[in-house]
């Protein structure tokens, strides 16, 4: 599919240099086209738009409180459909607004079958307030509230959403923008609640140089930390880069060593992570083959 | 209803100022080595590199992703003189 040249973000947002969430948003908006309404709860994206009365976003945006993004989208959809408008409603929420604070509104909207697309871009902490631990922070990662590294696992959001049986669920990564674009296009062609989970590496938060954003995203997929897959009406398809990673993964240490946030991670935690990556890949590979 | 009095933000270029002033290193493209693959403009988080690989230095924040992702190594990050 050809990616349109049209940009829906005017130069320039105030996102940090090398921000992969704004890279992801560029492609999400390209895939959505002009007839959308974006719902943004408190997250980096609500900060980078600019200061009233100016905004860098050339699409309608509704900024809403942390807990209510999906509820707001449900109401908007009801309003648009009543007016016989086909405007698409897309929620663009961070991991804090999805995994922790926004989860009940999101669960409700999925249960009601709201015809919308929920996108969670995941930088694995509360980025815009200065990198506090969130439910999406992985084991061993240091944040400002877990300076010695987090002791708990990352919450498996995709399996929580999967339990709602949505017609479309996908994972994506900002380092694969074409793949992300195609997934958003496909999601919007389906009626009902759709979910896309994007891994978005964050240079200041993950403590790596700004130019490595895309490289780290690719390493996350190649090492199996992040698995790219789609679930259409429950049927699982693992995407190309992750299929290659299951057959021949690159070492997890390549991914870990590039980031300052894993400096305090213990060897035991890293070997636990390796085991969990393997178990996760096996589970998905077996499911795709139809074995379990 | 008069839309002008609604308290909503309106899209403008430069809504957050000239972000090019943040830059410490600027991307310099070697035209001889460049094969126009388009990786730099595809991976630019702010979309400031046009399709014919011209960088908008008014807004480029100097992150260096373009230089890191260039398969030909045709982009060098050079320190801005202050």
Give the separation between CA B66 and CA A56, rounded to whole angstroms.
22
> Residue B47: inside a domain, yes or no?
yes
**pLDDT by residue (tens digit) across A136-155?**
999 999 999 999 999 999 99
Q: Are strands A88-94 and A36-41 parallel, antiparallel or unpaired?
A: parallel
> Does the beta carbon of B40 lie under 8 angstroms from any beta carbon of chain A?
no
Chain A CB contacts of B15 below 8 Å: 10, 13, 49-51, 54-56
* Confidence bin at A76 (pLDDT 50/70/90): very high
> Can you give the pLDDT at residue A7?
94
Facing residues of A230 across strands? A170, A237
| Spatial contact of A3 and A185, defined as CB atoms under 8 Å apart | no
Nearest-CA residue of chain A relative to B19?
A12
Q: Does the pLDDT at position B15 exceed 70? A: yes
> Nearest C-alpha of chain B: how many angstroms from A13?
6
Give the separation between CA A273 and CA A155, rounded to whole angstroms.
13
Give the separation between CA A75 and CA A98, rounded to whole angstroms.
18
**pLDDT by residue (tens digit) across A111-141?**
999 999 999 999 999 999 999 999 999 999 9
**DSSP state letter for B31:** T
* Confidence bin at A60 (pLDDT 50/70/90): very high
Among the listed residues A176, A221, A228, A241, the one whose alpha carbon sits nearest the alpha carbon of residue A197 = A228
> Nearest C-alpha of chain A: how many angstroms from B67?
8
Hey, are the CB atoms on A15 and B64 less than 8 Å from each other? no
Chain B CB contacts of A48 below 8 Å: 16
Q: Does the pLDDT at position B2 exceed 90? A: no
Chain A CB contacts of B59 below 8 Å: 11-12
Give the separation between CA A132 and CA A150, rounded to whole angstroms.
11
Q: What is the mean pLDDT of residues A15-31?
A: 96
Instruction: Give me the half-sphere count of Cα atoms (radius 13 Å) on the Cβ side of residue A290.
Output: 0
Q: Does the pLDDT at position B1 exceed 70? A: no
> Residue B11: inside a domain, yes or no?
no
Domains in chain B, number: 1
| Spatial contact of B21 and B71, defined as CB atoms under 8 Å apart | no
Nearest to A58 among B11, B23, B59 (CB): B11
ipTM over 0.95: no
| Spatial contact of A236 and A171, defined as CB atoms under 8 Å apart | no
Q: How many CB pairs under 8 A join A and B?
A: 109
Hey, are the CB atoms on A10 and B13 less than 8 Å from each other? yes
CATH of the domain at B63: 3.30.70
Peptide bond into A53 cis (omega under 30): yes
Give the separation between CA A181 and CA A6, rounded to whole angstroms.
13
Q: What is the mean pLDDT of residues A21-50?
A: 96
* Greatest distance between any 2 Cα atoms in chain A: 58
> Does the beta carbon of A18 lie under 8 angstroms from any beta carbon of chain B?
yes
> Can you give the pLDDT at residue B6?
84
Q: Does the pLDDT at position A159 exceed 90? A: yes
Give the separation between CA A228 and CA A199, rounded to whole angstroms.
10
User: Which pair of structure tokens corresponds to residue A86?
Assistant: 């086909």
Give CATH superfamily name and number for A20-289. Answer: Thiamin diphosphate (ThDP)-binding fold, Pyr/PP domains (3.40.50.970)
User: Which pair of structure tokens corresponds to residue B65?
Assistant: 């992703």
Among the listed residues A193, A182, A42, A183, the one whose alpha carbon sits nearest the alpha carbon of residue A117 = A193
* Strand (E) or helix (H) holding A235: strand A235-238
User: Which pair of structure tokens corresponds to residue A77?
Assistant: 């959809």
> Does the beta carbon of B80 lie under 8 angstroms from any beta carbon of chain A?
no
- Domain that includes residue B63, residue range: 36-82
Higher pLDDT, residue A143 or B1? A143
Q: Does the pLDDT at position B3 exceed 80? A: no
Instruction: Give me the half-sphere count of Cα atoms (radius 13 Å) on the Cβ side of residue A223.
Output: 20
> Residue B12: inside a domain, yes or no?
no
**pLDDT by residue (tens digit) across A274-286?**
999 999 999 999 9
Nearest-CA residue of chain A relative to B48?
A11
Chain B CB contacts of A19 below 8 Å: 45
**Cβ atoms < 10 Å from Cβ of A247:** 9
> Can you give the pLDDT at residue A268?
95
Hey, are the CB atoms on B69 and A7 less than 8 Å from each other? no
Q: What is the pTM of this model?
A: 0.95
Nearest to B43 among A12, A58, A214 (CB): A214
Give the separation between CA A222 and CA A201, rounded to whole angstroms.
14
**pLDDT by residue (tens digit) across A199-228?**
999 999 999 999 999 999 999 999 999 999
Mean pLDDT score of chain A = 95
Q: What is the mean pLDDT of residues A44-60?
A: 94
Q: What is the mean pLDDT of residues B25-54?
A: 94
In sequence order, the 6+-apart residues with CB closer than 8 A to the CB of A66 are: A41, A42, A96, A97, A101, A102
> Can you give the pLDDT at residue B7?
85
> Can you give the pLDDT at residue A55?
95
Q: What is the mean pLDDT of residues B38-66?
A: 95
> Nearest C-alpha of chain B: how many angstroms from A20?
6
Q: Does the pLDDT at position A157 exceed 90? A: yes
> Can you give the pLDDT at residue B81?
84
**pLDDT by residue (tens digit) across A222-272?**
999 999 999 999 999 999 999 999 999 999 999 999 999 999 999 999 999
Hey, are the CB atoms on A57 and B11 less than 8 Å from each other? yes
> Residue B27: inside a domain, yes or no?
no
Q: What percent of chain A has pLDDT over 70?
A: 100
> Can you give the pLDDT at residue A13?
94
> Nearest C-alpha of chain A: how many angstroms from B18?
8
């Amino acid at each position: 599919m050809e990616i349109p040249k049209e940009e829906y973000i005017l130069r320039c947002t105030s996102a940090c240099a090398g921000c992969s969430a704004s890279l992801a948003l560029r492609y999400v908006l390209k895939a959505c086209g002009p007839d959308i309404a974006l719902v943004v709860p408190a997250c980096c994206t609500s900060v980078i738009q600019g200061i009233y009365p100016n905004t860098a976003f050339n699409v309608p945006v509704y900024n809403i409180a942390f807990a209510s993004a999906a509820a707001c989208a449900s109401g908007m959809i009801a309003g648009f459909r009543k007016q016989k408008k086909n405007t698409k409603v897309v929620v663009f929420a961070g991991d804090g607004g999805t995994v922790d604070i926004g989860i009940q509104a999101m669960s409700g909207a999925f249960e009601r079958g709201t015809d919308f697309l929920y996108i969670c871009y995941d930088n694995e902490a509360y980025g815009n307030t200065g990198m506090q631990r969130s439910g999406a922070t992985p084991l061993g990662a240091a944040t400002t509230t877990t300076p010695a590294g987090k002791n708990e696992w990352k919450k498996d959001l995709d399996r929580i959403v999967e339990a709602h049986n949505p017609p479309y669920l996908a994972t994506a990564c900002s380092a694969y923008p074409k793949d992300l674009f195609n997934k958003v296009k496909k999601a919007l062609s389906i009626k009902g609640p759709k979910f896309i989970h994007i891994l978005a590496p964050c240079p200041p938060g993950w403590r790596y140089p700004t130019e490595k954003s895309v490289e780290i995203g690719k390493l996350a997929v190649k090492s199996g930390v992040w698995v790219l897959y789609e679930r259409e009406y429950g049927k699982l398809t693992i995407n190309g880069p992750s299929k290659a990673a299951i057959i021949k993964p690159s070492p997890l240490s390549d991914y870990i060593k590039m980031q300052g946030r894993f400096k305090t991670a213990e060897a035991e935690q890293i070997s636990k992570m390796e085991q969990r990556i393997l178990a996760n890949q096996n589970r998905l590979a077996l499911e795709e083959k139809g074995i379990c | 209803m008069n839309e002008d009095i609604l308290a909503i933000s309106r899209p403008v270029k430069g809504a957050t100022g000239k972000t090019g002033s943040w830059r410490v290193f600027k991307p310099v493209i070697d035209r001889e080595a460049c094969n126009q693959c388009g990786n730099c403009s595809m991976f630019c988080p702010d979309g400031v590199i046009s399709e014919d690989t011209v960088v908008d230095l008014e807004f480029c924040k100097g992150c260096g992703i373009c230089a890191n992702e260039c398969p030909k190594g045709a982009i060098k990050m050079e320190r801005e003189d202050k």
